[in-house]
């Protein structure tokens, strides 16, 4: 199972270090074997000596250059970062990233051998327009993306479930994940209002290979608890 924390625009560099250390210590103390990812804010990136995989929430598809406000490969290399989130709905919908730009980033970091957590998901009006329309919308988010890339992890995150406390029903999650597995056999995470009280149930669903957690992961004890759930589920398989 994969358990990932997207820290978004939270936690300073010092707080992030404490966070990663706490997760690392928890995993070691409890001999946890799950794949744990943490995505800190850009200015909190650093060199971490840890088994937790620390990745970037974003970077521009360039080594360096004149792209004000962005970071490039040099900035990731400085900290040995080889993992990146691409296509997150906040970057698509708040920062206005187009599918073309997203595919460009994907291909750039793929060529460099990065592990890519690639996010897809529909806004509420697309869901309400019916399954066909919704799947068309999600299909378009696969344009220009190599779904056979061996270091690809996909995260299905319905936009309306992110940060709202709302989640699709378990049946809906299974239905969409089953559809998405037809497009790519890569590990498929669910994200959107995953909390301690629903993480276990969601991770146990068919075709769910883990979770990508936002706000609930900010409390490190809760995030660690979710890693424990993943470990327990793995033992049942």
Sign of CA dihedral 211, 120, 21, 150: positive
Nearest approach, Cβ of residue 194 and ligand 13P (Å): 5
C-beta separation of 117 from 86 below 8 A? yes
150: annotated active-site residue: no
> If you write DSSP's letter for every residue of 48-82 in order, what string do you get?
--SSSEE-BS---SSSS-S-TT---HHHHHTTT--
Q: By C-beta, is 9 or 29 nearer to ligand 13P?
A: 9
Contact set with ligand 13P (CB under 6 A): 6, 88, 157, 162-163, 191-194, 212-216
Q: Which residue of the set 90, 97, 157, 177 is catalytic?
A: 157
What is the Cα–Cα distance from 104 to 109, expressed in whole angstroms? 9
Least distance (Å) between residue 195 CB and ligand 13P:
8
Which of 91, 120, 106 lies closest to 189, judged by CA? Answer: 120
* Residues 36, 53 contacting (CB under 8 angstroms): yes
Compute the least distance from the CB of residue 64 to ligand 13P, in Å: 27
Q: What angle do CA 10, 11, 13 make, to 5 degrees?
A: 135
Which residue lies nearer to ligand 13P by CB, 78 or 93?
A: 93
Q: Which is nearer to ligand 13P, 16 or 182 (CB)?
A: 16
Question: At closest approach, how far in Å is the CB of 176 from ligand 13P?
Answer: 16
Q: Is 157 a catalytic residue?
A: yes
151, with CB counted inside 10 A (0-12, 13-18, 19+), is: middle
The nearer residue to ligand 13P, 6 or 53, going by C-beta atoms, is: 6
- Residue whose CB is less far from ligand 13P, 157 or 209: 157
CA distance 47 to 44: 10
For the CB of residue 196, give the shortest distance to ligand 13P in the complex, in Å. 12
Exposed e or buried b for every residue in 195-212, given b needs 16+ CB within 10 A? bbebbbebbeeebbbbbb
Closest residue to bound ligand 13P by CB: 214
88, 90, 97, 177: the catalytic one is 88
Q: Which residues are catalytic?
A: 88, 157
């Amino acid at each position: 199972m994969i358990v990932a924390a997207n820290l978004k625009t939270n936690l300073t560099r010092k707080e992030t270090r404490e966070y990663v250390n706490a997760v690392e210590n928890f995993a070691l103390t409890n001999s946890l074997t799950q794949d744990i990812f943490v995505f800190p804010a850009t200015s909190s990136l650093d060199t971490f000596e840890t088994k937790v995989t620390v990745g970037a929430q974003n970077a521009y598809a360039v080594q360096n250059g004149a792209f004000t406000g962005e970071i490039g490969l040099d900035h990731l290399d400085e900290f040995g970062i080889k993992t990146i989130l691409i296509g997150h709905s906040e970057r698509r919908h708040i920062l206005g990233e187009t599918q073309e730009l997203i595919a460009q980033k994907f291909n750039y970091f793929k060529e460099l051998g990065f592990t890519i957590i690639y996010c897809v998901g529909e806004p509420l009006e697309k869901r309400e327009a019916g399954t066909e329309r919704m799947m068309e919308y999600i299909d378009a988010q696969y344009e220009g993306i190599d779904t056979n890339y061996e270091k690809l992890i996909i995260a299905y995150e319905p936009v309306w479930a992110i940060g709202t406390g709302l989640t699709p029903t378990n049946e809906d999650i299974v239905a969409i994940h089953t559809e998405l597995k037809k497009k790519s056999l890569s590990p498929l995470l669910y994200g959107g209002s995953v909390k301690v009280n629903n993480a276990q149930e969601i991770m146990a669903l068919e075709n769910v290979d883990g979770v990508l957690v936002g706000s609930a992961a900010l409390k490190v004890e809760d995030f660690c608890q979710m890693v424990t759930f993943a470990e327990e589920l793995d033992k049942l398989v």
